[in-house]
Amino acid sequence: MDLEGSCSEQSISVGERLTASALQNVGLWVLIEVDGRWPARVEEAKLPAQLSVWLERLRAVQPTMRLQFIRQPLREGSVRVMSMLPQGRRRIRAFVFDSLETIASLPIEAIVGDDALPVDASCEAPDSLFLVCAHGRRDRCCAKHGVAVYTAIEEQLKRGEVWQCSHLGGHRFAATVLHLPTGIHYGRLRVEHVRQLLDATREGRIVHLENYRGCTDVARPAQAGEAWLREQFGELGFGAVQHCGAEQRDGLWECRFAMGQQYHCVHVRQRTLEVLRGASCGETNPTPVSTYEVVRHGAYMGKAMDAAESSRFF
């Protein structure tokens, strides 16, 4: 079957929503500066043997690690490595090395420890960081839209606060942008959105819910529940909706959240729609659009309930 237009054009034409399409359950972000052109998938990259071993050790400690290659055009010299644990203080850590090979000298504890382990390679880290997918070898939509958005952000921020990065998932939603340390994942951003994006981030809020894919800390059903609450209550602040847990039972996801002194239990189900689109440019086999919908909601005051308690009420 021939599909007309790019994957991002197809996604827009069938009305595919961005809600709950973010990367999910990321327990550790690891960003490594790799210059030049990247292969279509980072796992296919020919990294130094000692760095590959180091990454395997790191993934053994934190299986939900997400590795991203990063780069800045025309930047030369040292190799930058950054990391961020979603749990705890949500602080970006940064390190600098002479080469990819020497990254393997970094103690694993410097990445996964609750407190920053002082190491010689440590350097000043940004408080806020944008990653813009510009991974053209993975999909041409990322090159087309991502590079333009990256350039627009770079013109308005310090150079260390924005990087091009490898695939962030969902290239049909290009330009896709990740903000750290919040873990907020955006999609379908364009150059004209950049000023509003930066202003909103400085004010500690999401720019637009229609561009909000979700928070990468949690599973997609919880992303859907959070987005629904934000829409219902008009809450855009970064910390306005706190995730308290989620369990699946009887085909539904029960997702619990805190908003101020009030707690919410949102029941979410996944649905497959009868519309098709290509997930990537050049695909000849379209796939159906999957979405999440809220089917039940309850709110209460007091302490947060666990799954067993909330199931008796909602």
Residue 286 lies in a domain: yes
Same domain, 140 and 84: no
Same domain, 154 and 238: yes
Q: pLDDT tens-digit profile of 272-309?
A: 988 888 888 877 788 889 999 999 999 988 665 565 55
pLDDT of residue 136: 84
Same domain, 11 and 61: no
Confidence of residue 87 (pLDDT cuts 50, 70, 90): confident
Mean pLDDT, rounded, of the chain:
91
Same domain, 170 and 108: no
pTM: 0.92
Token digits of residue 149? 């958005």
pLDDT of residue 4: 75
Confidence of residue 209 (pLDDT cuts 50, 70, 90): very high
Q: pLDDT tens-digit profile of 154-198?
A: 999 988 999 999 999 988 998 999 999 999 999 999 999 999 999
| Across 145-158, average pLDDT | 95
pLDDT of residue 282: 78
**Percentage of the chain lying above the pLDDT 70 cut:** 93
**Percentage of the chain lying above the pLDDT 90 cut:** 71
Residue 266 lies in a domain: yes
pLDDT of residue 303: 63
Tell how far CA 92 is from the center of its chain. 15
Residue 312 has pLDDT above 50, yes or no: no
Same domain, 137 and 189: yes
Backbone angles phi, psi at 209, to 5 degrees: -65, -30
Q: How many domains does the chain have?
A: 2
Rounded to whole angstroms, the Cα distance separating 80 from 82 reads 7
Token digits of residue 81? 């490595």
Peptide bond into 39 cis (omega under 30): no
Confidence of residue 90 (pLDDT cuts 50, 70, 90): confident
| Across 55-61, average pLDDT | 96
Residue 236 lies in a domain: yes
Residue 122 has pLDDT above 80, yes or no: yes
Residue 16 lies in a domain: yes
Please write down the long-range contacts of 274-277, taking CB distance under 8 Å and 24 or more positions apart. 275/14, 275/15, 275/16, 276/14, 277/3, 277/7, 277/10, 277/11, 277/13, 277/14, 277/16, 277/172
Residue 154 lies in a domain: yes
Instruction: Identify the domain containing residue 73 by its residue range.
Output: 28-123
Which of helix, strand or coil describes residue 43? Answer: helix
Q: pLDDT tens-digit profile of 218-255?
A: 999 999 999 999 999 999 999 999 999 999 988 899 99
**Would you state the torsion angle of the CA atoms of residues 5, 176, 218, 199, taken in this order, to the nearest 10 degrees?**
-140
Same domain, 281 and 142: yes
Answer with the one of 83, 102, 123 that is the final residue of a domain.
123
Confidence of residue 92 (pLDDT cuts 50, 70, 90): very high
Instruction: Choose between 151 and 288: higher pLDDT.
Output: 151
Residue 158 lies in a domain: yes
Instruction: Choose between 307 and 46: higher pLDDT.
Output: 46
Task: For residue 191, give the CATH number of its domain.
Answer: 3.40.30.10
Rg (CA), the chain: 20
* Cα–Cα nearest to 86, from 119, 50, 62, 55: 62
**What is the per-residue DSSP string for 203-226?**
TTB-S-GGGEEEETTS-HHHHHHH
Token digits of residue 91? 């602080």
Residue 310 has pLDDT above 60, yes or no: no
